[in-house]
Amino acid sequence: MADGKIDAERHRYPYCLVWTPIPCLTWLFPFIGHLGICMSSGVIRDFAGPYYVSEDNMAFGNPTKYWQLDPSKAEGGAVGWDNAVIQASDIYSKRVHNLFCDNCHSHVARALNIMNYNGKSNYNMVSLCFLLLIHGKYVNVSGCLKTWLPVLLMISILVAAIVFSHFGI
């Protein structure tokens, strides 16, 4: 899949950051989810837990959102991209996962920093959360619903409860 074409049916996202909701957490904060990074072949790598970087089996299900990057902006091009993803995965396969300060976003940030993507080496979990929120595209309508429907339902129930209690209904 060196052509860089996305094949959502086969879950192949070359040169992409991929995102999927985390049950309960994303329901409360729809901009927070699980992040992975893909090789040039489209194979997904994600820091899925302590001492474990999965390959093609994201911890919380298939991607619902992606952001395709330009491999020519990686130091070393496509080869540099793949080498950086492999190196970051090797580093994170020896680390303990921490939800707040050393997590899947940190793994992806490390890969981007190693490849000096777009001339930058200061990516972090907060910047990636923000960038994916702005640049990410949903894989399909179902992906969008998986992200936003739970929080919209909870807000609707909360508003209904407030209205009903206020008007004594």
Amino acid letter, 146: K
Look at residue 48 and give its three-state secondary structure: strand
H-state helical runs in 21-137: 25-28, 77-92, 104-114, 125-135
Q: Where are the beta strands (DSSP E) in the chain?
A: 16-21, 33-38, 44-49, 52-55, 65-68, 137-138
d(CA 169, CA 4): 56
Domain count, the chain: 1
In a domain, 2, yes or no: no
In a domain, 3, yes or no: no
Residue 2 in this model has a pLDDT that exceeds 60: no
Q: How far are the Cα atoms of 72, 73, 138, 157 from residue 19, in angstroms, in the given order?
A: 22, 21, 9, 27
In a domain, 53, yes or no: yes
In a domain, 1, yes or no: no
Residue 6 in this model has a pLDDT that exceeds 80: yes
* Residues recorded for the chain: 169
Residue 1 in this model has a pLDDT that exceeds 50: no
Of residues 12, 11, 13, 31, the one with CA closest to residue 21: 31
d(CA 55, CA 47): 9
* Average pLDDT for 40-51: 95
d(CA 127, CA 110): 12
Look at residue 119 and give its three-state secondary structure: helix
Confidence of residue 139 (pLDDT cuts 50, 70, 90): very high
| Domain span holding position 107 | 8-167
Cross-sheet strand order for the sheet of 44-49: 52-55, 44-49, 33-38, 16-21, 65-68, 137-138
Predicted TM-score of the model (pTM): 0.90
Highest mean pLDDT among 1-10, 25-34, 49-58, 67-76: 67-76
